[in-house]
Structure 1
Amino acid sequence: MTRRTKIVATVGPASESPDALEALIRTGVDVFRLNLSHGPLEEHLERVIEIRAAADRVGRVVGVLADLPGPKVRCAPFPDGGVMLETLAVVELAAGSASSDQRRIEIEYPSLPSDVRVDDYVILGDGAITLRVLQVVPVVRAVVESGGRVQGRPGAHLHSKRLRLETPTEEDLVLARAMAAADVDFLAVSFVRAAADLRRVREVVGDWRGGIVAKIETAHAVEALNELVEEADAIMVARGDLGIECPMEDVPHLQKQIVRRCVESGVPVITATQMLESMITAPAPTRAEVSDVANAVFDGTDAVMLSGETAIGADPVRVVRTMARITERA
């Protein structure tokens, strides 16, 4: 049985060695994703060379997708070891970059006080910690609706429609030029809102022959889906941030809507995020994950993407082998 759905695998500490790259190619990886949010540019450029060399040794053509970071709002650093934000605790939110603790969280976004509204949600990190704004004057206060331990400088997700950040950022454009010069096959643009965002990337890469991928991960992008499908060379259903931006119960419907629109237009579409998440530590996926992957294939997705599963997982080769079996059977 021939597998038609492509597998995109994120490179990270668990999969960056030459031997690991070669094993993943032999197992079925079609495209490697470089997450430019982590690590210096020089390391990513070296990985492009290592991926090409591994593909040559195996005798297969493998693509490289460079994922641009996009704008990122972060909290000021929490104390070493982190702090516990207790559910129902009330915290102050302030614009700043000095420090954060369990009573006052500084967010590196100068217009925070004027851009949040009562009942807005502020999501910290990967979505596990949720704050709801109670008041905005004279200071912004929020209640912790779902608590947990927070440490380092976690991301802070604010309401995207009022967020005064542009994409692509200047850093994105610098990275895009460098990765295009390294002849990667795809550039993924994060937090796109309109087709003009993609055109800005096209302008800086000149006559580069690769494809630009629009990541659909905000309400703005969903609303602009038609123009993004027209402008992009491929679309990614980035369910992680999309699931923070929109109610989680809406994500399956949005995924189907996006995939259907791409299939109708003949534009390749990648379905991403938490597809085999449990296999970061477990030797086998959950039955729900197997169904999730298979249903994405049934809907017409052209590729499925692995993130932490291959970047930091215990056994990236087993993950790819499992993904290949599911997509081939579907």
Structure 2
Amino acid sequence: MTDHMRRTKIIATVGPASNDAKTLKQLINEGVDVFRFNLSHSTHAQHKKTLAAIRKVSKELNTDVGILFDLAGQKLRIGNMKKPVEIKRGQEITLTKNKVMGTGSRISVNHNYLIKELSKGDKILIDEGRIELKIKRKTPAELICTVKQGGVLSSNKGINVTAPLSLKPLTKKDREDIKFAIENKVDWLALSFVRHKSDISDLKAFIKRNKAHFAVMAKIEKKEAVSNIDEIIEASDGIMIARGDLGVEMPVEDVPLIQKTIIEKCMQKGKAVVTATQMLESMINNRRPTRAEVNDIANAIFDQSDAVMLSAETAAGKYPVAAVKTMAKVAGKTESAIDYAWMLRDKEAWVSADITDAISFASCELVRDLGAALLVTSTQSGATAARVAAYRPPAPILAATPDKRVMNRLKLIFGVVPYLINPSKNINDMLAKAKQAAKQSSLVRKNDKIVITAGALVNVVGTTNLIKVETID
């Protein structure tokens, strides 16, 4: 058996604090598996420069990392203010669809939907919930509100509402960003402010019309998304639990339970799940994390997230490398306390009548029962590797694939070590390639047992139907 390998993946957001070659190299060496680009910020030119730097550094290090583009979506915001101004509980303030320079009594909003669809009595939250307003009355152009919780208003602060809106998440900017993503062959696209499965369907349809393919991740940060979570998981390739906005839209005490529920639902469906937002927030300015943050990461690992994500910590923080190092150490230590073999028994009820699913679970059971050092999947689309990973087997998963894009997408999946191979000629050639890949991966030693799962019809998507046990010679 090999020494413990960290299986929970780390996603790091790139930005001014981390987009130079030296820092990128350090981040990869400390354990970054996927780099996230927040398309709410910066320009295509800067993103292209950073992407080129990542790929150059990866080549120098003889490794690969996944690339996730996070689309900006329909973010509700107030407009520009003349200057920051304090508003106090009990005072009246007007939100208008007209473009005005904001004051303490009148501010503009960036979407007419707010004025059109909200009603008397609805709650409006500004600046991550720090300021709370309640609608007192409305006109066709304005919402007249009472301040329920005061604070300092400044330009372009975000708005959250608990009432449902018909706002579509895919914007004109998002469409331009998707075309940019196609040109640059990224691996994952994350859609912000998803409410319904149709939001994901619309995105996938747009991608298809542009003759491209991405793994699509739905960001869960709206109250409606939590209500529609089953259909959204079904429509998506992965889920990101974006706890920042979610903790504003929902009662904050509900978020930990929502996190646990979504992670389990994603595992049951074989979909990737990322726990994100404020995981090491204090490390933006401090070299050491708080004890609560360390516990938050550990909790996400105990919940069995595929990946944990850093945002401002690596994009704009003072200690991006230290943040990744901390996350990797906490993840590795926490995993060492988890008995994945024992937990596999609880997942037997998840197995469906689908052949690939049944084979995937059976291969995990064989790994457990034989004490195998490695589970090898030969995969065309990455689906089998993701399905196997969903059961969290007690050994690493080597995903041998002839498709480099699939290989990079799998960098985000729990426990998966993607490995690029040449296309197989027949089943015997495929099995030989799988065993050879295991030997070359440094994940096994002589006399270790490995479990291989694949399809008898080689190079055909969706045909997984066999398991073979081999001993490394």
Question: TM-score scaled to structure 2, two decimals?
Answer: 0.66
Work out the percentage of aligned pairs sharing the same amino acid: 40
What is the distance in 2 between the residues matched to 1:199 and 1:111?
Answer: 22
What is the distance in 2 between the residues matched to 1:50 and 1:115?
Answer: 45
1:259 to 234, 239, 263: 263
Which stretch shifts more, 44-53 or 17-26? Answer: 44-53
> Following TM superposition, by how much is the alpha carbon of 1:172 offset from its aligned partner in structure 2, in angstroms?
1.1
Letter of the 2:236 counterpart: A
Partner of 1:54: 57
1:215 to 205, 210, 219: 219
Contact 2:113 2:167 in 1 (8 A): no
Deviations 1:288-320 (A, max 9, x none): 111111111111100000011111111100000
1:292 to 296, 300, 304: 296
What is the distance in 2 between the residues matched to 1:3 and 1:165?
Answer: 40
Which stretch shifts more, 251-260 or 189-198? Answer: 189-198
* C-alpha spacing 1:189/1:91, structure 2 compared with 1 (3 Å): same
Question: TM-score scaled to structure 1, two decimals?
Answer: 0.93
Partner of 1:190: 192
Letter of the 2:332 counterpart: E
SS at match of 1:179: helix
Contact 2:100 2:107 in 1 (8 A): no
2:109 pairs with 1:116: no
2:71 to 68, 77, 82: 68
* C-alpha spacing 1:230/1:295, structure 2 compared with 1 (3 Å): same
SS at match of 1:183: coil
Deviations 1:253-311 (A, max 9, x none): 11111111001111110000011111111121111111111111111100000011111
2:287 pairs with 1:283: yes
Partner of 1:79: 82
Partner of 1:230: 234
Partner of 1:144: 147
2:206 to 204, 207, 228: 204
Which stretch shifts more, 238-247 or 300-309? Answer: 238-247
Partner of 1:329: 333
Which stretch shifts more, 21-30 or 141-150? Answer: 141-150
What is the distance in 1 between the residues matched to 2:125 and 2:182?
Answer: 33
What is the distance in 1 between the residues matched to 2:175 and 2:132?
Answer: 32
Partner of 1:248: 252
> Following TM superposition, by how much is the alpha carbon of 1:7 offset from its aligned partner in structure 2, in angstroms?
0.5
What is the distance in 2 between the residues matched to 1:96 and 1:137?
Answer: 12
Letter of the 1:247 counterpart: P
Contact 1:96 1:108 in 2 (8 A): no
Contact 2:124 2:134 in 1 (8 A): yes
> Following TM superposition, by how much is the alpha carbon of 1:124 offset from its aligned partner in structure 2, in angstroms?
1.6
Contact 1:177 1:204 in 2 (8 A): no
* C-alpha spacing 1:164/1:28, structure 2 compared with 1 (3 Å): same
In our comparison, the structure showing a higher alpha carbon Rg is 2
* C-alpha spacing 1:29/1:111, structure 2 compared with 1 (3 Å): closer
Letter of the 1:175 counterpart: D
2:45 pairs with 1:36: no
Partner of 1:153: 156
Contact 1:130 1:144 in 2 (8 A): yes
Gaps spanning 5+ residues in structure 1: where? none
> Following TM superposition, by how much is the alpha carbon of 1:117 offset from its aligned partner in structure 2, in angstroms?
2.5
2:13 pairs with 1:10: yes
Partner of 1:134: 136
Contact 2:79 2:107 in 1 (8 A): yes
Q: Which has the higher contact order (CA 8 A, sep 6+)?
A: 1
SS at match of 2:99: coil
What is the distance in 2 between the residues matched to 1:220 and 1:171?
Answer: 23
SS at match of 1:329: helix
2:169 pairs with 1:164: no
Partner of 1:26: 29
What is the distance in 2 between the residues matched to 1:305 and 1:39?
Answer: 20
Letter of the 2:290 counterpart: T
What is the distance in 2 between the residues matched to 1:98 and 1:26?
Answer: 49
> Following TM superposition, by how much is the alpha carbon of 1:119 offset from its aligned partner in structure 2, in angstroms?
3.2
Contact 1:281 1:314 in 2 (8 A): yes
SS at match of 2:112: coil
> Following TM superposition, by how much is the alpha carbon of 1:146 offset from its aligned partner in structure 2, in angstroms?
3.0
Letter of the 2:260 counterpart: K
Partner of 2:95: 93
What is the distance in 1 between the residues matched to 2:163 and 2:23?
Answer: 38
Deviations 1:209-245 (A, max 9, x none): 4311111111221122112211211110011111111
SS at match of 1:256: helix
Provide the alpha-carbon RMSD of the alignment: 1.8
What is the distance in 2 between the residues matched to 1:117 and 1:286?
Answer: 41
SS at match of 2:133: strand
* C-alpha spacing 1:117/1:217, structure 2 compared with 1 (3 Å): same
What is the distance in 2 between the residues matched to 1:160 and 1:303?
Answer: 31
